[in-house]
Amino acid sequence: MSFKAGTPSVLFVCVKNGGKSQMAAGLMDKVAGDTVRTASAGSQPGSAVNALSAEVLAEVGVDISRNVPRRITVEDQRRADVVVILGAEAKVDEIPGTRYERWETDEPSERGIDGVERMRLVRDDILARVTALHATLTAP
C-alpha cells in the first residue's frame, strides 16, 4: 500500500498481541485500504497469533496467520494518531499529546459462549468499532 502524507495512523494494543489487537489491525486494513495506516502491539506479547482469531478473520478475507506478536514501544505510540487499547488487562504508559481510546470489547465467554462462536462475536464487535473509528478518522 502507498500512503499519502497526512494519512491517519492507528496503533491497536492488547496484552499478548495475538488476538484482539491483531484482529483490529487486520479488520482496519480491510475496511480502510490505504486511507489509514495500522499497526498492532502487545504490552506483554505472546509467541504466536491466536489460531481461532486467524480462523475467524480468514472467514472474512483477512489473513493474520503469519503475523508475529511484538512489544509496544514509545516510538509506536508517537507515530500513531490514535492508540486503541483493547480490553481492561493491557497496561500502556500513555504519552502526552497522543490520543488514547480503550475499547471494552464484547466477551461472550461471560455468557458461556466459547470456541469459534465466541471468536466470531469478538470479531464482529471489533469490526463495528473499527468501522466507526475509520469513519471519524477519514471524515472531511
* Number of domains making up the chain: 1
Q: How far apart are CA 68 and CA 132, in angstroms?
A: 26
Helices (H) and strands (E) in the chain, counts: 4, 4
Say which DSSP state 26 is in.
H
User: Is 3 a member of any domain?
Assistant: no
Q: What is the pLDDT of residues 17-71, one digit of tens each?
A: 999 999 999 999 999 999 999 999 999 999 999 999 999 999 999 999 999 999 9
In a domain, 64, yes or no: yes
Grid cell listed for 42: 502487545
At 112-135, the pLDDT tens digits run: 999 999 999 999 999 999 999 999
Residue-wise pLDDT tens digits, 64-114: 999 999 999 999 999 999 999 999 899 999 999 899 999 998 899 999 999
CATH number at residue 63: 3.40.50.2300
* Cell numbers placing 58: 480468514
Position 40 in a domain: yes
> Is 4 within the bounds of a domain?
no
